[in-house]
Amino acid sequence: MISSMTGFGSAQLEAEGISFLVEIRSLNNRFLKMAIKLPEAVAFTSSAVEKIIRQDLARGAITYTLHMRYLGEIGALEINQAALEKYLSSLEQVRTLRGDNGMMRIDLAEVLQLPGVCQPREYNEEETTFFLETIKKLTQKALSQLCRMRREEGQSLLADLHRQGQVIRDNLAAISTLADTVVDHYRTRLQQRVYLMLAEANLKLDEELLLKETALFAERCDINEEISRLQSHLEQVEQGCRKEDQAGRRLDFLTQEMLREANTIASKSNNARISQHVVEIKVGIDRLKEQVQNIE
């Protein structure tokens, strides 16, 4: 069954004195586009996260965010003692040269923000494995929630696609009925006009010429092939919605072909009533196209 491209999923866990929160948001996009936002300390998990997402999603603009908060005394950053002492020594020398006699105050918080003073902790192999497995598990859980939301929204999209499909089908049926009478109506109108003109000129109607003109018109305005193709495209759309999990691109192509066939019917039919039904069909196709843009 079809799925929407919009959704949200999250997963949270506290382990080893760390709070983890994974959030995944998905919006419409023609392709799969990912923005993965990870704390620097666990940036090494980026490729594993991307691989997990690609296994379940084929289209959409995906924003993945991992929030980490240390609950205990140990944090994600370590102070480089050597770098800190070097900065403090340099500042002390500046104060001595200025002769401030202790009046210059050193803000330790600002010193800690200087390059190289605070740096990410280096994790051992066991800690690295813990982070990788924890983040993978949370990613899969959040992704499962997102996919469930996308499937639920897909059901709403499917119901609307069926409604628009029925509108198109009903108007096609009306056009099929009218198409059988177009040539007869044209022949009758042409015959009446020719009789009127010949009566005024006192001439006789050449039935063979009338038949040839009618046959040419019938060939020019024959829309049975376009009707058949449009019906076929509509059936393929409905089959794709029922059977394909990632039908978005195919459905987009089919709706474009449906619109092309509808335009051809309008240009060939030369009938006001058929044109009215074509307008309704094109409205239905436009609504299909709008909804298809939301389908994965």
Q: Residue 8 and residue 103: Cα distance in Å, rounded?
A: 55
Q: How does residue 239 score in pLDDT terms, banded at 50, 70 and 90?
A: confident
What structural domains does the chain harbor? 7-75+124-152 (3.30.230), 77-112 (no CATH), 155-292 (1.20.120)
Q: List pLDDT tens digits, range 261-293.
A: 998 888 777 778 888 999 999 999 999 988 888
Contacts 24+ apart (CB under 8 A), 272-276: 273/178, 274/175, 274/178, 274/179, 274/182, 274/223
**Per-residue pLDDT at 191:** 55
- Other C-beta atoms closer than 10 Å to the C-beta of 296 total 25
- The mean pLDDT of the chain is 80
Q: Which of 63, 54, 58 is nearest to 250 (CA)?
A: 58
The answer to whether the predicted template modeling score (pTM) of the entire model surpasses 0.85 is no
Q: How does residue 244 score in pLDDT terms, banded at 50, 70 and 90?
A: low
Q: List pLDDT tens digits, range 58-86.
A: 889 999 999 988 876 555 556 666 666 66
Share of the chain above pLDDT 90, in %: 35
**Per-residue pLDDT at 280:** 93
Using an 8 Å Cβ cutoff, are 258 and 233 in contact? yes
**Per-residue pLDDT at 85:** 63
Residue 150 has what DSSP assignment?
H
